[in-house]
Amino acid sequence: MSSIALTIVAFIIAVSILVTIHELGHYSIARLLSIRVLRFSVGFGKPLWRRMAKNGTEFVVAAIPLGGYVKMLDEREGGVAEADLPFAFNRQSLPKRVAVLAAGPVFNLVFAVIAYWFVFILGVPGTRPIVGEIAKDSYAEAAGFHARDEIVGVGGRDVATWDGALFALLREVLDGGPIAVRVRDRGGAERSLLLEVGDDTERLTEPGQLLRGLGVSFWSPPIPARLGEILEDGAARAAGLRSGDLVLEADGTPIADWEAWVDYVRARPDQTVNLRIERDGSELELPLTIGAAEQDGVRTGRIGAAPQTPEGYGAELRTEQRYAPIEAIGIALDKTTDMAVVTVSMFWKMLWGQVSVRNISGPISIAEFAGYSLGDGLVPFLDFLAVISISLGLINLLPIPLLDGGQLMYAGIEAVKGTPLSQRAELIGQQVGVVLLLALMSVAFYNDITSRLVN
């Protein structure tokens, strides 16, 4: 399956699952409270499949898989027979209506717990958080980080993978104040460090900028300067280099590893250098005329070759978090809670300009992440579904008319004033809600488009 097809299929699967879970929340509680549900639709537009249940609910799968809805019997949406009035949504008590409205977001959060539970019992693969080079004059250098330190704790909590460390660092940046970090050096000795990031929250929360902003990089074992795949039209092929050749020297300069070789090549576009290589156990010399390409407005050297990764490369960095089923329940609850708290914190700080709005992802980014995660297997896809389910649940709780949160806001006003809002007030609220949702969607689409133009 092509990457585009996989992205589309993964996106449709993800949206369908999460929308079904959300609407199932509304439907289940409505039925439990004897409220009549007229339609349960996954998707919008022309129905592709429909079935009428014995309880009078029409179940529909529609052509546009970008949402869904549950339509309940309601006098505000049309005439209701006298005998059916007790089953109409608008005739229910305030607590019952609140329960139905809140059920969708709650089901999304519960689904996230279940998804994380499966993730943790199946096993979460990860990479040990060992840091590479420390940037000069950075927060990390000031805190006392050294290359090859392994991060074992952030903010008083243990971490075992880069994913865990990044999430914990983000949580602490959002909380403000110094960040307590515990590291272990190559000799096994642990020490405590303090990252002082001040009020640099907005820059550090730019997508992909957290580690770079702190001055930390990922460490990976050096790869020998041995050629792997060689492009047909590249400079390496033209010079007679072959897959498996090990570069030893270039113009007398020893080449220690692949990174050193890449740096050497990039610095010498269009130059001819004499190589000493090892091939099939023998050494030989040959000239190489390095090609060139434009990168960020700078001309850099290219030869059209990829490294040959040694068998078992990086095995010492790989780890896995796996828990027994009972223990995984608590871990899944903690993970869902942490994700929800960080999501709420980020959105709140966005409103005050303390966190970059570029963190709002649109459907293009979500579709790409869905494709990547599904391509990587069941565990990454479940992890992705949990994250999006939490976001969907929390977004629906925003006090914006047209969303569940807006309807809950109306219910709160009704509880205070003793009577429901007038239809005119609700209509004005819906119009405001449309404007707010369009603004939110515009930001999301803008982020999607500009991120691709930059990249």
Whether residues 192 and 215 fall in one domain: yes
Whether residues 10 and 98 fall in one domain: yes
Is 239 inside any structural domain?
yes
Is 353 inside any structural domain?
no
CA-to-CA distance for 52 and 32, rounded, in angstroms?
19
DSSP 341-358: HHHHHHHHHHHTTSS-GG
CA angle 371/375/231 to nearest 5° reads: 100
Is 17 inside any structural domain?
yes
- CA 327 to centroid of chain Cα atoms: 25
Catalytic residues: 23
Whether residues 27 and 104 fall in one domain: yes
At residue 443, the 3 state secondary structure works out as: helix
CB distance 151 to 323 below 8 Å:
no
Reported as a pLDDT band with limits 50, 70 and 90, residue 454 is: very low
Reported residue count of the chain is 455
Residue environment code for 379-393, b if the CB has 16+ CB neighbours within 10 A, otherwise e: bbbbbbbbbbbbbbb
Whether residues 132 and 29 fall in one domain: no
Average confidence (pLDDT) over 40-65 = 91
| Count of the separate structural domains present in the chain | 3
pLDDT of residue 350: 82
DSSP 160-195: -SHHHHHHHHHHHHHH-S-EEEEEE-TTS-EEEEEE
Whether residues 236 and 167 fall in one domain: no
Give the domain range for residue 384. Answer: 3-33+92-123+371-454
Is 171 inside any structural domain?
yes
pLDDT of residue 446: 62
* 89-115 confidence digits (pLDDT tens): 989 999 999 999 999 999 999 999 999
CATH code of the domain in which 238 resides: 2.30.42.10
Whether residues 18 and 96 fall in one domain: yes
- Across all residues in the chain, what is the average pLDDT? 89
CB distance 271 to 288 below 8 Å:
no
pLDDT of residue 2: 62
The DSSP output letter for 8 is: H
Give the residue with greater pLDDT, 443 vs 72: 72
Q: Mark which of 261, 289, 321 sits at the end of a domain.
A: 321
Q: Mark which of 276, 307, 338 sits at the end of a domain.
A: 307
At a CB cut-off of 8 Å and minimum separation 6, what does 82 contact?
Answer: none
Is 55 inside any structural domain?
no
* 338-348 confidence digits (pLDDT tens): 999 998 998 88
* 219-233 confidence digits (pLDDT tens): 989 899 999 999 998
Whether residues 234 and 303 fall in one domain: yes
pLDDT of residue 19: 92
Rounded to two decimals, what is the model's pTM?
0.84
Whether residues 24 and 112 fall in one domain: yes
Whether residues 232 and 300 fall in one domain: yes
pLDDT of residue 366: 81
| CA dihedral sign, ordered 422, 424, 427, 432 | negative
Average confidence (pLDDT) over 29-49 = 93
pLDDT of residue 414: 86
Is 179 inside any structural domain?
yes
Average confidence (pLDDT) over 254-260 = 93
Structure tokens at 231: 């492009």
Whether residues 186 and 155 fall in one domain: yes
Reported as a pLDDT band with limits 50, 70 and 90, residue 455 is: very low
CA proximity to 230, closest of 310, 309, 294, 307: 307
